[in-house]
Structure 1
């Protein structure tokens, strides 16, 4: 029993001794929400995305809406002409099925483009994160801090440890324009040019 108490006391002392060592360290934070909205790279990426995709998204959305309305019109016509015990005309059913297939194809095309936009947006963010890493390390060394963490990963932090503005300033100077061409898209023209 005495040995167990001694071990418990030793464990408590070790825990108490190690806690102040961590608490005494300097922690810096970076608000990635601000980096992804306020940095030149984020703004450039968004501008490039809008320039490349807005018209295409609008066209595909219009195509889907038109196809869906056409399908609904066909279905409504079949319902309006329906009489108890009488099958609708095969031509009307075929037309409705074809309209439904066109609507589904238009929706799939819209979803595919939307997925591409999301993928490219994540690629832009990943480029920003890749560039922020070395900048954060440089600031950590300059400030003699122990660690730099994303602001959202801590419950509370001293506001004086927030280095987001400095990170954005240095990111703007070193990386103002990310690419929206995915790596496989960049490699494809080079591969085709060697024929």
Structure 2
């Protein structure tokens, strides 16, 4: 299938189910930025349960602003905080040490554009998974695109669609139980090379 997706910050597992099964991926880059979405946030499984990681951005809803024009507020020490949160949450997971060196540059290099940063996060995860993807970007915004499976609704954080995924072992599941559809990082650190097999086995679309 050919899918249309929003680039998001370390996308959800459901998003990567679509990516793993797609023949072609089209990234929406011509839309207006909206708050309360996964464009600048993701969820991981920390010691106290579900934890939100948010990238601070310079954005005001008073005037419409294109996603491609929104910048990261790098005057906050968010990268170091996010990296420490990942380390605390996943250092005891089976595959943390296997992947963290590939991910670390995302938390040390400075990125200006949230869109560019998200695309780099996506590219890095695909490299970790050794997942070859055929990616293109939209040139115009289409409300009702043709010949594409429109999965842009996966970007919504407040009105999230419940997509039941097969449970897998998570670091703190004995304390808080299984938490569904976290960031792909959770699956990667816990399942490692089995991640692709897990993704392709899910039937949620």
Is TM (by shorter chain) over 0.5?
no
Q: TM-score range by the shorter chain?
A: under 0.3
TM-score of the aligned structures, taking structure 1 as reference length: 0.23
TM-score of the aligned structures, taking structure 2 as reference length: 0.22
Is the radius of gyration larger for structure 1 or structure 2?
Answer: 1
Structure with higher helix content: 1
The structure showing larger relative contact order (alpha-carbon pairs under 8 Å, at least 6 residues apart) is 1
